[in-house]
């Protein structure tokens, strides 16, 4: 009976192709949205990892070293740096800012850290900034070493490039010395958003809170939380639409083939075989749509001005969910097919 189901798909191929393409577009969009949401996290993780900080110390009451930071004077820095297990400690600065590039302006994330870290990422070109007027910038800013950029009223000289270093939905990261960042962000006061520690910290000093990398990533993602949740809701709605398309195609197929099913039953074909045939159609539609959807997502991803990084698990989960959703959505059609009265086979056309 499975061959009969496949033959029926050939017979009505135009309809099934339309269904597959419609579902594939939705699967493709779902993958892109998943990639967008994942892209936010991936770039935040890449940025935090690149800083080479194992533990961020923030003041009690602050919710993170970046967005949720409460600036403080790092008076305990020397004592913390000498704590057993701590390899290095440095005051770190973070703020959002606007970069002027000729006539254009772009939002950017500003990081302040000492030349040798912790807090200064490895650079693909040039060197880390040494003086308050020097910066290392993300390659996505599309500026070269030797060029100048303007942040607020200060003109800064590019001495290094960090490859594809972005955060907060593809905003370029800009790295300064701690002092340079303090001049930009705190008007030259010796404040810090956090103390970055390389190594381990057994005892958190009183008045401070330790935040690991995962906490730091969550803090950096905080402004995007609403956007990520919205994307997730849209993705779920798309799943529902995809399931409805698969289900309605299978239901219509079942409705049009009721006479066939009645004949099958009348000549003794087991009901299970009839249901299996329809189920196979749902699976073929869903899996074909997945394949086309993956190709579409690869084509659509680069169009977006943000990073679309589809996680590997999505390619595994998508066909599984597609098949399960497809079968669930086809349940009405399956029920209609298996409950058909074989007596319907009698009578005229």
Partner 1 sequence: MGDLSIQDLVVEYSSGGYAVRPLDGFNLDVAAGSLVILLGPSGCGKTTLLSCLGGILQPNAGAIKFGDVDVTSLDARGLSKYRRETVGIVFQAFNLVPSLTALENVMVPLRSAGMSRSAAREKAEQLLARVGLADRVTHRPSDLSGGQQQRVAVARAIALDPPLILADEPTAHLDFIQVEEVLRLIRELASGDRMVVVATHDSRILPLADRVVDLVPDFAESNRPPSTVQLEAGEVLFEEGTMGDCIYVMSQGELEIVRELAGGGEELLWLAEPGDYFGELGPLFHMPRSATARARTDATVIGYTVATFRERLGVGGIRDLIEHRPLDIDESAVTQEPG
Provide the binding-site residues for partner 1, judged by CB under 8 A. 1, 3-4, 7-8, 10-12, 259-260, 263-271, 273, 342-343, 345-349
Which of 287, 338 has the CB closer to partner 1?
338
Nearer to partner 1, 143 or 265 (CB): 265
Min CB(280)–partner 1 separation in Å: 14
- Output the smallest distance, CB 11 to partner 1, in A: 3
Rounded Cα distance between 56 and 196, Å, is: 5
Nearest approach, Cβ of 303 to partner 1 (angstroms)?
A: 39
As a whole number of angstroms, the distance between CA 149 and CA 134 comes to 10
> Which residue, 41, 35, 60, is CA-closest to 217?
41
Count Cα atoms within 13 angstroms, Cβ side, for 102.
4
Query: Based on CB atoms, which residue is closest to partner 1, 42 or 266?
Result: 266
CB nearer partner 1, residue 91 or residue 277 = 277
Which residue, 12 or 336, has its beta carbon nearer to partner 1? 12
Taking the C-alpha atoms of residue 239 and residue 30, their distance in angstroms, rounded to an integer, is 7
User: Shortest Cβ distance from residue 274 to partner 1 (Å)?
Assistant: 10
Measured between its terminal Cα atoms, the distance across the chain in Å is 23
Strand blocks (E) in the chain: 55-59, 86-101, 104-112, 125-126, 134-138, 148-151, 154-162, 166-167, 171-176, 194-199, 208-211
- Crossing angle of the two packed helices 225-256 and 13-51, in degrees rounded to 10: 160
Q: Based on C-alpha coordinates, what's the Rg of the chain?
A: 29
Q: Which residue, 187 or 348, is less far from partner 1 as judged by CB?
A: 348
Nearest Cα to Cα of residue 120 among 92, 78, 139, 147: 92
* Minimum separation from the CB atom of position 259 to partner 1 (A): 7
Distance, CA of 296 to CA of 286 (rounded, Å): 15
Q: Which is nearer to partner 1, 8 or 54 (CB)?
A: 8
- Using an 8 Å Cβ cutoff, are 284 and 246 in contact? no
How far is residue 205's CA from residue 107's CA, in Å, rounded to a whole number?
35
**Residue 239, CA distances (Å) to 40, 59, 250 in order:** 21, 43, 17
Among 61, 63, 59, CA closest to 76: 59
> Judged by CB, which is closer to partner 1: 313, or 346?
346
The nearest distance, CB 222 to partner 1, in angstroms, is 56
Contact 133, 154 (CB under 8 A): yes
Smallest gap from Cβ 337 to partner 1, in A, equals: 14
Which residue, 1 or 234, has its beta carbon nearer to partner 1? 1
Peptide bond just before 341 cis, omega within 30 deg: no
Nearest approach, Cβ of residue 288 and partner 1 (Å) = 18
Smallest gap from Cβ 275 to partner 1, in A, equals: 13
CB of 292 to partner 1, least distance (A): 23
Contact between residue 297 and residue 216 where contact means Cβ atoms under 8 Å apart: no
Q: Which is nearer to partner 1, 201 or 334 (CB)?
A: 334
């Amino acid at each position: 009976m499975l061959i009969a189901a496949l033959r029926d798909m050939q017979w009505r191929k135009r309809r099934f192709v339309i269904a597959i393409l419609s579902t594939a577009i939705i699967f493709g969009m779902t993958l892109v949205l998943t990639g967008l949401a994942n892209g936010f996290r991936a770039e935040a993780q890449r940025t935090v990892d690149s800083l080479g900080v194992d533990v961020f110390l923030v003041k009690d009451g602050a919710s993170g070293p970046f967005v949720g930071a409460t600036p403080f004077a790092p008076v305990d820095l020397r004592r913390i740096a000498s704590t057993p297990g701590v390899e290095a400690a440095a005051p770190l600065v973070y703020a959002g800012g606007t970069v002027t590039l000729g006539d254009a302006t772009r939002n950017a994330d500003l990081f302040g850290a000492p030349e040798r870290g912790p807090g200064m990422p490895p650079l693909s070109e040039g060197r880390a900034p040494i003086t308050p007027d020097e910066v290392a910038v993300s390659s996505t800013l599309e500026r070269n070493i030797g060029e100048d950029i303007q942040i607020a009223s200060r003109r800064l000289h590019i001495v290094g490039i960090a490859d594809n270093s972005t955060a907060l939905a593809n905003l370029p990261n800009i790295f300064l010395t701690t002092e340079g960042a303090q001049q930009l962000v705190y008007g030259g006061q010796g404040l810090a958003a956090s103390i970055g520690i390389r190594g381990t910290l057994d005892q958190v000093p009183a008045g401070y809170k330790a935040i690991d990398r995962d906490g730091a990533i969550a803090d950096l993602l905080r402004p995007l939380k609403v956007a990520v949740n919205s994307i997730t809701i849209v993705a779920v709605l798309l799943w529902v639409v995809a399931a409805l398309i698969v289900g309605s195609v299978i239901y219509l197929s079942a409705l049009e083939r009721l006479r066939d099913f009645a004949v099958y039953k009348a000549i003794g074909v087991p009901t299970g075989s009839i249901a299996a045939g329809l189920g196979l159609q749902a699976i073929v539609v869903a899996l074909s749509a997945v394949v086309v959807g993956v190709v579409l997502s690869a084509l659509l991803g680069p169009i977006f001005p943000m990073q679309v990084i589809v996680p590997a698990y999505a390619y595994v989960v998508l066909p599984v969910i597609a098949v399960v959703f497809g079968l669930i959505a086809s349940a009405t059609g399956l029920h209609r097919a298996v409950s058909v009265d074989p007596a319907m086979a009698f009578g005229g056309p």
